[in-house]
Amino acid sequence: MIRTDEHHSCKGTPMCHSDQKQLQSNSMKNGYHKKEKVQKNGKGDGFHQPRVRGEDSFEEAPMYVAVLTYMGYGIVILFGYFRDFLRAVGFEKCHQAQEREEQKDFVPLYQDFENFYKRNLYTRVRDNWNRPICSLPGPVFDVMERVSDDYNWTFRLTGRTIENVINMGSYNYLGFAENNVDFLKTVAEETRQYGVGVCSTRQELGNLSTHEKLERLVAEFLGVESAMAFGMGFATNSMNIPALVGKGCLILSDELNHTSLILGARLSGATIRVFKHNNMQSLEKMLKDAICSGQPRTHRAWKKILIMVEGIYSMEGSLVRLPEILALKKKYKAYLYLDEAHSIGAVGPTGRGVTEYFGVDPNEVDVLMGTFTKSFGAAGGYIAGKKELVDYLRSHSHSAVYATAMSPPVVEQIIRAIKCIMGVDGTTEGQRRVRQLAENTRYLRSRLKEMGFIIYGNQDSPVVPLLLYLPGKVGAFSRAMLKRKIGVVVVGFPATPITEARARFCVSAAHTREMLDKVLQSLDELGDDIKLKFSRHRSSYRPELYDETDFELDS
Amino acid sequence: MASGQQWVLVEMVQAFYEAPAYHLILEGILILWIIRLLFSKTYKLQERSDLTEKEKEELIEEWQPEPLVPPVSKDHPSLNYDVVTGPPSHKIIVNGKECINFASFNFLGLLDSERVKLKALSSLKKYGVGTCGPRGFYGTFDVHLELEERLAKFMGTEEAIIYSYGFATIASAIPAYSKRGDIIFVDEAACFSIQKGLQASRSFIKYFKHNDMEDLERLLKEQEIEDQKNPRKAKVIRRFIVVEGLYINTADLCPLPQLVKLKYRYKVRIFLEESMSFGVLGEHGRGVTEHFGVNIDDIDLISANMENALASIGGFCCGRSFVIDHQRLSGQGYCFSASLPPMLAAAAIEALNIMEEDPGLFRVLRDKCKHVHKALQGTPGLKVIGEPLAPALHLQLENSSGSRTDDLKLLRAIVDYSLDRQIALTLARYLDKEERFLPPPSIRVVVTVEQTQDEIQTAAQCIREAALKILK
């Protein structure tokens, strides 16, 4: 029932042989095989010890839950049609913004279904998204109270705030979303000197020395030759992938990749094939087929093959199988594009992302991409790797030529955060945070499992999805949590498969044990109230994973 | 007859008894064979000769991919950026030399404004830097709501929506509405972010000649004829005209009043990109609609970035709620990206305050634009591209040497000559292979309100000298 058996089923394929042992040792309990693995990966010196990779778990829900979920959608859709009928006959007032009179005879701007979904399903629960806040997005925040007088068609701010709501939604993994004056001193200075804008592109006159300083620092932090920074994380993917691949190239993309990667791949004009999430068999088969049969119709050989994966998948909380992918990539001479949006800073003994987590040399990954929005509490993204790669991007990236350069204060915030993590600011604060995050993550995850919730992903991933399944529970869960002063993120169709609506918690190093305990207690109560404890693998043991000592050993 | 038939039957049975065993077996096999032929596919769709494992391995062994990126030569013209130390405001330090800035799109000089900086600082104190989330997931701050409200009010529209990156604004807005099968009519001079939006939408793209309304009408008429052939299909094909208010590549205005006429005649929606004209044109800086006195509601969507006149970061779209609200679920750059850092939004609000308080700024800018346009006329070997009221002009070679690389080198020499004499200019940069219609090489000359008469004269003089020296 747990979807992790891909490990063992890849027997027989030539690549897997060498890794088979490693995989098996991986799946053994912590620490047991550590020694043997260190010897095996002897070339990884200079990097931290390879860590035993936890399992990604994807427990399936009982059948009745799936049936109920479909029924839930069925009921809402039926009601939707009924109410549309009432609106059509004028019995119910339609609150939606309408087309201008002058343009009523134009071709309708929206398709009917799209509108139907929004009108009849989304609107009913839309108070759970876009909740405005009026404070720092730290471990706690202040939510502005909104009420709706017309069943969520419009909202009215009451002017009151719900203070000190525990923030389980922001990607503030290392707690760098902070407003401590001492920490932000350099950022404030930069603002005073530069202002906020740049008013030019990098290739014209927007290349500030501070940008170059940041890029050197990022490269040093990641342990690669060179790096380039961009103003928006989303655009880092969508505007640079087209510079790397084009017609006649093949992109193999994980099915759960982020929209920005998909957009970038589409804009590039390359052929895109999608492999099953984290499924090495599926990937290897595609690689083999691609090389053997070449491009469709012409059978000409592919110019290059680019594998696109993410470090941590933001909706599943799973970690990429990096060592296996690297082995495949080498065997089939493909290139690897690794998007570390959620993993940089958030995993690895010193916060250097999944490469460090798995103890592999970051130089083995061809393109390292990441964002500054999450762990670094700023904005933007980077691409790092060999000097040739970055030089090529400097001259061919869409972003460098057409988009305004990064805001200097934002750049300074990233520099400050990276320096803190690297410890070059002379403190151990950064490392403390990295450790704290790992500890909080394991604590929250193991407690949730213990309570009987179905949670997805890797035990070390700070993205913790908790499955809700039924559409009715999505809104109820989020509202009930806000009532308990806990801000959570819930997502349903179309962001997830239709039967897998979920809540997502993002653990932060800034969360205290008290906060997590309060969240857990509320979840425990709520889980019983609205029946969310679907797991049939309720683990009764309390593993010592979150003991302090365990973490000292690990790092 | 009946008896004859019976006889045959009897004989057949008899023959069956008498036949030797091998014969029966043979017959049996034949019958099975026929059945097999009947039930199996008699032909193969494709001649399949499956590769053996060994052959596959050989193929894999033999395949050599191209390098991930082709090597870039060290002196590639766009590899070595000019380095700016210190703020890129009116006085800018380029490669260690202090110059007067004629290159940054800081039209209203707001980059330097103390008020804007103070507002950003106080926001920094309260909110820190990042938002750590997209708008949907606790990335909506009170500052964002305020900025959207203010922008809508400033432009006189029902609603506005902000993006965290100027480039992503129109590039996300277009595919939010126009899908596969829809038709977009677009000006050939449209900027790169529009081109990316068109590409992402996967719609049919029809280019019309730059600012040529007859050409556009020809395309619209063609489509009308096409529609009459298949009226049912025509009922679901959305159509859009995408134009820029003030073109960044050609520095001229779109003929908005004619476009609006065409819009109603052919029932096409207009998307207008105003990054260059917002905060520049019109009595109050509201852009081309104000400049031409066009009712803003006649334009379906207006987008602009906040990185030029507003001197912050990000972009926005505005229009009627019916149109704009859709992007809150369908604008990819809006939904899937972290929201704008609050301090940048706060800075944009303060910049809007300044623009609202002092509409005189726009008059000053207009005068300066005219002045610069006039001063640059008659530069030997160079022609000025753009309207007198455009704040970002292009200087192109009158006589091209025939090779783009050589032209760029000549222009770069003029830029370097000016840099040495404390006038900061820049080449307009493009991705040669990516542009749909690559504009000719040019030097960008940007006008800001901070440039004095003297500085403008000096700059014009300097460019003239450089042109005389380098082009002859």
Judged against a pLDDT cut of 80, whether residue B42 lies above it is answered with no
CB-based contact A309:A337 (threshold 8 Å): yes
Task: Write down the pLDDT at residue B48.
Answer: 59
Q: What distance in Å separates residue B34's CA from the closest CA in chain A?
A: 36
The answer to whether the Cβ–Cβ distance between A288 and B60 falls below 8 Å is: yes
Of B125, B138, B191, the CB nearest to A487: B138
The phi-psi region of residue A175 (left if phi > 0; otherwise alpha if psi is between -120 and 50; otherwise beta) is left
**Mean per-residue pLDDT of chain A:** 86
**How far apart are the C-alpha atoms of A344 and A283, rounded to whole Å?**
24
* Inside any domain, residue A50: no
* Inside any domain, residue A538: yes
* Inside any domain, residue A23: no
Please state, for a pLDDT cut of 90, what percent of chain A lies above it: 73
Task: Write down the pLDDT at residue A14.
Answer: 39
Q: Which residue of B has its CA nearest to A260?
A: B336
Judged against a pLDDT cut of 90, whether residue A172 lies above it is answered with yes
CA-based end-to-end distance of chain A: 33
In this structure, are A285 and A353 located in the same domain?
A: yes
CATH code of the domain in which A286 resides: 3.40.640.10
The answer to whether the Cβ–Cβ distance between B51 and A292 falls below 8 Å is: yes
**Mean per-residue pLDDT of chain B:** 93
Q: Which residue of B has its CA nearest to A416?
A: B129
The answer to whether the Cβ–Cβ distance between A201 and B145 falls below 8 Å is: no
**pLDDT tens sequence across A481-507:** 999 999 999 998 888 888 899 999 999
Q: What is the mean pLDDT of residues B70-77?
A: 85
Q: What distance in Å separates residue B88's CA from the closest CA in chain A?
A: 6
**How far apart are the C-alpha atoms of A420 and A549, rounded to whole Å?**
24
Q: What distance in Å separates residue B100's CA from the closest CA in chain A?
A: 12
**pLDDT tens sequence across B261-316:** 999 999 999 999 999 999 999 999 999 999 999 999 999 999 999 999 999 999 99
Q: What distance in Å separates residue B311's CA from the closest CA in chain A?
A: 5
Q: Which residue of A has its CA nearest to B133?
A: A170
The answer to whether the Cβ–Cβ distance between A288 and B308 falls below 8 Å is: no
Q: What is the mean pLDDT of residues B47-73?
A: 86
Which of A422, A448, A476 is where one domain is finished?
Answer: A422
Task: Write down the pLDDT at residue A161.
Answer: 94
Which of A422, A439, A466 is where one domain is finished?
Answer: A422
Judged against a pLDDT cut of 60, whether residue A19 lies above it is answered with no
Q: What is the mean pLDDT of residues B193-212?
A: 96
Judged against a pLDDT cut of 50, whether residue A445 lies above it is answered with yes
In this structure, are A400 and A534 located in the same domain?
A: no
In this structure, are A214 and A290 located in the same domain?
A: yes
CATH code of the domain in which A162 resides: 3.90.1150.10
**How far apart are the C-alpha atoms of A180 and A183, rounded to whole Å?**
5
Task: Write down the pLDDT at residue A99.
Answer: 87
Residue A7, H or E segment: helix A6-9
pLDDT grade for B337, boundaries at 50, 70 and 90: very high
In this structure, are A307 and A384 located in the same domain?
A: yes
Annotate A392-413 with b (16+ C-beta within 10 A) or e (fewer): bbbbbbbbbbbbbbbbbbbbbb
For chain A, the domain total comes to 2
**How far apart are the C-alpha atoms of A212 and A457, rounded to whole Å?**
37
In this structure, are A504 and A362 located in the same domain?
A: no
Q: Dump the DSSP string for B207-252.
A: EE-TT-HHHHHHHHHHHHHHHHH-HHHHTT--EEEEEESB-TTT--
Q: What is the mean pLDDT of residues A370-379?
A: 95
Where are the extended beta strands (E) located within A340-478?
A: 367-371, 381-385, 457-458, 463-469
In this structure, are A341 and A218 located in the same domain?
A: yes
The answer to whether the Cβ–Cβ distance between B56 and A288 falls below 8 Å is: yes
C-alpha dihedral (B46, B49, B53, B54), degrees to nearest 10: -140
**How far apart are the C-alpha atoms of A287 and A336, rounded to whole Å?**
12
**pLDDT tens sequence across A299-314:** 999 999 999 999 999 9
pLDDT grade for A24, boundaries at 50, 70 and 90: very low
* Inside any domain, residue A554: no
In this structure, are A137 and A198 located in the same domain?
A: no
Q: What is the mean pLDDT of residues B328-344?
A: 94
Burial of A256 (0-12, 13-18, 19+ CB in 10 A): middle
The answer to whether the Cβ–Cβ distance between A410 and B89 falls below 8 Å is: no
Count CA atoms closer than 13 A to B68's CA, side-chain side.
23
**pLDDT tens sequence across A76-85:** 999 999 998 9
In this structure, are A248 and A384 located in the same domain?
A: yes
In this structure, are A414 and A437 located in the same domain?
A: no
In this structure, are A453 and A336 located in the same domain?
A: no
Task: Write down the pLDDT at residue B46.
Answer: 59
* Inside any domain, residue A334: yes
Q: What distance in Å separates residue A75's CA from the closest CA in chain B?
A: 23
In this structure, are A523 and A407 located in the same domain?
A: no
In this structure, are A416 and A441 located in the same domain?
A: no
Q: What distance in Å separates residue B300's CA from the closest CA in chain A?
A: 10
Judged against a pLDDT cut of 90, whether residue B45 lies above it is answered with no
The answer to whether the Cβ–Cβ distance between A100 and B322 falls below 8 Å is: yes
Phi and psi angles of residue A346, each rounded to the nearest 5 degrees, phi first: -95, -25
Of A100, A242, A244, the CB nearest to B68: A244
**How far apart are the C-alpha atoms of A36 and A20, rounded to whole Å?**
14
Q: Which residue in A230, A420, A39, A189 sits closest to B338, CA to CA?
A: A230
The answer to whether the Cβ–Cβ distance between B426 and A135 falls below 8 Å is: no
Q: Which residue in B134, B328, A119 sits closest to B317, CA to CA?
A: B328
Domain hosting residue A264, numbered range: 181-422
Instruction: Establish, for the pair of chains A and B, how many residue pairs have beta carbons separated by less than 8 Å.
Output: 359
Q: Which residue in A429, A376, A512 sits closest to A182, CA to CA?
A: A429
Give me the amino acid identity at A238. Answer: S
From chain B residues 11-70, the ones with a CB under 8 A of any chain A CB are 51, 56, 59-60, 63-70
* Helix-strand-coil split of chain B, %, nearest 5: 50, 15, 35
* Inside any domain, residue A126: yes
Task: List, in order of start, the domains of chain B with CATH numbers.
Answer: 80-105+359-471 (3.90.1150.10), 114-357 (3.40.640.10)
Of B132, B267, B343, the CB nearest to A196: B343
Task: Write down the pLDDT at residue A487.
Answer: 95
* Inside any domain, residue A68: yes
Between A8 and A147, the more confident residue is: A147
Judged against a pLDDT cut of 90, whether residue A12 lies above it is answered with no
Which of A422, A449, A470 is where one domain is finished?
Answer: A422
Report yes or no: B116 at the A interface, CB cutoff 8 Å.
yes
Residues of chain B positioned with their CB less than 8 A from the CB of A394: 72, 78-79, 81
* Inside any domain, residue A462: yes
